Amino acid sequence: MTSILRRSISDSVERNLCHRVGLHQACRDGLIDIVQGLQHRCVPTINTLDNEGLAPLHYAARYDRAEIVQLLIEGGADLDIFSECENGFTTPLQIAARFDSPATARLLVLNGADVAKQSSYGQQALHYAARRGNLKVVQVLLREGQANVNAKDNEDSTPLHAASQEGKLDVVDILLQYGADPSLSDNDGYTAVHLAAKDGHDDVLEKLLSTAKTCGVSCPAILNKMDNDTNSCLHLAVRHGHIKSAEVCIKYGADTCAVQDDLSSPLHVACVNGYHEIAKLLLFNGANIHDEDAEGMTPILRASLAGNVEILDLLLSEGADISPQGNSYSPSPLMCAVKRGHSNAVRFLLQRGSPIDLIDVNHRTSLHVAVFSSEAETLKIILEVLLEACPESIHMTDFRLQDCLHFSACHGHLEVTKYLLDQGAAVDSRCDERLTPLIQSAFCGCNLTTGLLLDRGAKIDATDKNGCTALIAAASRGKVSILQLLLDRGADIRLLTTDGKNCLQTAIANGHQDVCMEIIKHVRWKEAFPVCDERSNFIPLKSLIETFPSVAKVVMDKCIQNSYHLQTDEDYSLTYDFEYVNPDPSLLSDGRVFFAPKTMLDYGREELIFHPLIIELMRCKWQHMGVRFFYISAVIYLFYLGNLTFYMLCIQHLYLLNPVRPVIPDGQNVCITARIEVWEIFIAVMTAVYLLIEMHQAFWEKWNYIETSNIAEICTFSTALISILSEHLGLEFSDKCVFLAISVLFGYLTLLLYLQSIFESGIHVTMLFVVLKTLGKVAIMFSILIFAFALVFQMLLSKKVNAIALNMTMNGTLLDDIEKDPFQSLHLSLVKVVAMTIGELEYTRFFTDQQLFSPTFSQAVFLVFCVMMPIVLMNLTIGLAIGDIDSIRQNAEYKRLSIKIEVIHEFIEKSPLWLLHRLHQPKSVKQPNKKAKTILQKIKGLGDRLVSGQKPKYTVEDAERNLADHLTKILTSRMREQDDRISGITLEMREQRKLLESLFQRMVKKEARRTLSDD
């Protein structure tokens, strides 16, 4: 790449002639000697394209090397060869026309170059010459080449279009002389006249129109012809601000009232773009000042929207209406200027006497529009004029009875709101929907505007016609900051809308979790959180559990209150308020009972189920209901099942083991026939009672009755009753035993279900049923293989089949073996395959002690069976069971609580209202630091733990409390040590002081003696 760049610089700058020059470069640089030399050597590159996609003739035409062109023509160069450069396919003649090479163009034309050849854009050489304004080339193409003056390119554009668009007057002149048609249109609908007017080439426009007029062509027809966007020539000239071109168009008959598809006239266009002189020209030449466009806007209204004071002055001086006609629904010019915030235009129109109390189709005044546009300066101007004329006009309303303050508050315009209030706007004005500015500001969500309205005395609890307050409005739109402001300012949180919703219910219905959280965290949250709405039976906590569990958790946190004692104090207590999670049944008017743990379980809110409030609620519920009802029910059922069991044993002993002598010895007088009859009556009565209870339950629960426990119970009681009444039903004794066995089997299954719900160890029963469920799924999938192997083994291992196949004699012994054969029928074969799957393979019996007609194949099938069924299937089942058990163990506490919740909720649903009132407990108070002092209290605590199924747990609070106690003890001991040390130091200091005092006294005495001796 570097070498190529160096060579390019050397060739173009230093002209290193020592380097070998190719034909392309020689033609480009005008090296005619080298061109001649290369031609004499017959170098075969005259028609080849270089890296730029150009032939030597292209380069010669580009730089107008006429002599070289002549040499190339003589050398056989292709005159119409196409280049392959980025600009498209072009011929040497087109390049000559484009780069103004008249001599080359003449040579090419005279030597037969095709002037009608088109480039990739469909342009001929004449298009290129006309666009560039190359007059001499145009003359050559027209005179010598006889080029088509009206030739069209891919866009249907002629050379006259190109010259007119670029403003090449001399080229336009010669093209017209050779018959160019100025009325031809391109694909955009532009004629040459349109392009000249659009680009402001007034001299070209003049030439085109004058020539057309001379030739008898209708100039107005050309000028008023619409392009594809319905622009006339005058529209284009006006839109682009070319006043000279507009004058020429009008001079030659352009219609000043011509309209586009949107009915915009040239005057509309001039007013929109603010061209004062052009507007003046149009008005002077007959433009209609009252024309309306498709939107009903006149030129003065368009000028007002543009805010051009000069044009407004011009239009008004020419008779434009400063206010709309009585039957018109158009706005006033003042309202248009206000809408766009053009203060100068507003001031001018007011000075010219524009009425300020005019209204639009929606009965809005200019003041409403000014407030809506939030243009403070414009608003100030209008207000000053309004207050001077009529101070009460600030209270004017639109068709919805909204005044200016409503508009300002609705859009959160703080400064405008403040200005209106300063000028006397009513802070509590109401519209037709009874909305106040404060409510609309709450809907908008502007915190500052809402605060301003409250500071100016707005009624914070004002309601609209639907009972919606500002607080409810903020909650419905999710405006948290507004809600917090209103709550802090004392908004009534209890007010309801006409459909019975307060702010919390509204926030829940609209899905605003942050608003709900803000309400719950407020100190007055209980006012907005009823246990149950008496009108609609709406339960807030239930909705929060279903939609916003994090908010429900905060509610439950607030239901646990700590006492004011220290956590280490013996009197420290925790109060659990169950008012919301388990409300009083009398509060629910529709008879439904709300039990929060059941809702949490239905929606999978595991984190809420383990909340301390729910744990304590379940403990209290289980203490009240478990001991009194579930345990009593379990004891009664156990008594019933025991009687049924002993009855089965007696029946077995009397009738099955002693069919000849149904008599019991004296030592076993329990199973006497007379007593059995009484026993049967007792069991039948209890069974009938149980069945009536189940029928009542099924009647009330409908399809919800169908579940495992209910099915097991109904099977137990129904089969027991059939067994007891078998003689009356005409059943055989064997049928009686079958039904009795089924009853006992389902009875003990029901007992397992009782254990599952009552005791903490019932989690193992849950494991049993989960494993059974998994095994059932696997068995369904593998039943296909079991059936297949049963069919195959019946054919391969059946003694009868093998005896026939081996032509064995059917003697008595063989017939006895055939009768005992487990593969003699399909159903027996299925049972045997299931037993083999479990592990009862019996290889010796089937493959050693028995002759087979195909032993090798039978052994192969047996091997496949051993791999697939006992090994793979059993290991798969064991693996799945282990996985299920691990999952249950990980969620054992959740499973245990889930079972208790289901049981308690089922009991609550079935219980009468008076019983629920009696068992209702509104709160629970725990004192964790108080220890049992008497034996009775210890026994009671142990009983509570056994009933609740919970072990005393070492919680985080216990750990913190123990740690605090431990640290306190350490600190106390260290302080005592420090006290002892200080006391010791004090004693030592006292002794030191006494010693020093004694020394001082001795020294004084010695000094006194020495003084006396000296004397």
Q: Which helix (H) or strand (E) holds 925?
A: strand 923-926
In angstroms, what CA-CA distances link 893 with 258, 333, 416, 422? 87, 77, 62, 66
pLDDT at 804 over 80: no
Average pLDDT, the chain: 77
Model confidence band, residue 158 (pLDDT cutoffs 50, 70, 90): very high
pLDDT value at residue 953 = 43
Name every residue whose Cβ is closer than 8 Å to that of residue 651 and which is 6 or more positions away in sequence.
676, 736, 737, 740
pLDDT value at residue 496 = 85
How far apart (Å, rounded) are the C-alpha atoms in residues 314 and 325?
Answer: 20
Amino acid letter at 6? R
Amino acid letter at 581? V
pTM over 0.75: no
pLDDT in tens, 366-386: 777 777 765 666 667 776 766
Cβ atoms within 10 Å, residue 692: 11
pLDDT value at residue 20 = 63
**Residues 740-747, mean pLDDT to the nearest whole number:** 84
How far apart (Å, rounded) are the C-alpha atoms in residues 186 and 348?
Answer: 45
Q: What is the 3-state secondary structure (H, E, C) of 741-794?
A: HHHHHHHHHHHHHHHHHHCHHHHHHHHHHHHHHHHHHHHHHHHHHHHHHHHHHH
* % of the chain at pLDDT higher than 70: 78
- Choose between 364 and 499: higher pLDDT: 499
Measured in whole angstroms, the distance separating CA 193 from the mean position of its chain's CA atoms is 57
- Are 735 and 728 in contact by the 8 Å Cβ rule? The answer is no
In angstroms, what CA-CA distances link 404 with 346, 409, 456? 18, 9, 16
**Residues 520-543, mean pLDDT to the nearest whole number:** 82
DSSP-derived secondary structure for 533-569: -TTT---HHHHHHHH-HHHHHHHHHHTEEE-SS-TTS
User: Of 21-35, 250-264, 339-353, 645-659, which range is least confident?
Assistant: 645-659
Amino acid letter at 720? A
- Are 427 and 388 in contact by the 8 Å Cβ rule? The answer is no
Q: Which helix (H) or strand (E) holds 282?
A: helix 276-284
User: Of 494-498, 573-577, 941-945, which range is least confident?
Assistant: 941-945
Model confidence band, residue 1012 (pLDDT cutoffs 50, 70, 90): very low
Q: How buried is 987 (Cβ within 10 angstroms: 0-12 exposed, 13-18 middle, 19+ buried)?
A: exposed
pLDDT in tens, 585-639: 766 655 567 888 888 888 888 888 888 888 888 888 877 776 666 677 778 888 8
Phi, psi of 1011 (to 5 degrees): -65, -40
Does the domain formed by 14-148 have CATH 1.25.40.20? yes
- Spans of all domains in the chain: 14-148, 628-758, 776-921, 956-1014
pLDDT value at residue 323 = 77
Report for 193-197, 682-686, 816-820: range of highest mean pLDDT:
193-197
Which has the closest alpha carbon to 793: 732, 753, 837? 837
pLDDT at 934 over 60: no
pLDDT at 844 over 80: no
Model confidence band, residue 318 (pLDDT cutoffs 50, 70, 90): confident
pLDDT at 288 over 70: yes
Phi, psi of 575 (to 5 degrees): -110, 120
Cβ atoms within 10 Å, residue 902: 16
- Choose between 871 and 167: higher pLDDT: 167
pLDDT at 170 over 70: yes
| Token pair 């193992």 in the structure block, residue | 764
Q: Where are the alpha helices (DSSP H) in 397-446?
A: 404-410, 414-422, 437-444
pLDDT value at residue 1015 = 42
pLDDT value at residue 662 = 45
pLDDT at 535 over 80: no
pLDDT in tens, 653-712: 666 555 444 444 444 455 666 567 777 788 888 888 888 877 877 777 677 667 777 777
- Choose between 904 and 673: higher pLDDT: 904
Looking at domain 628-758, its CATH architecture is: Up-down Bundle (1.20)
- Are 81 and 91 in contact by the 8 Å Cβ rule? The answer is yes
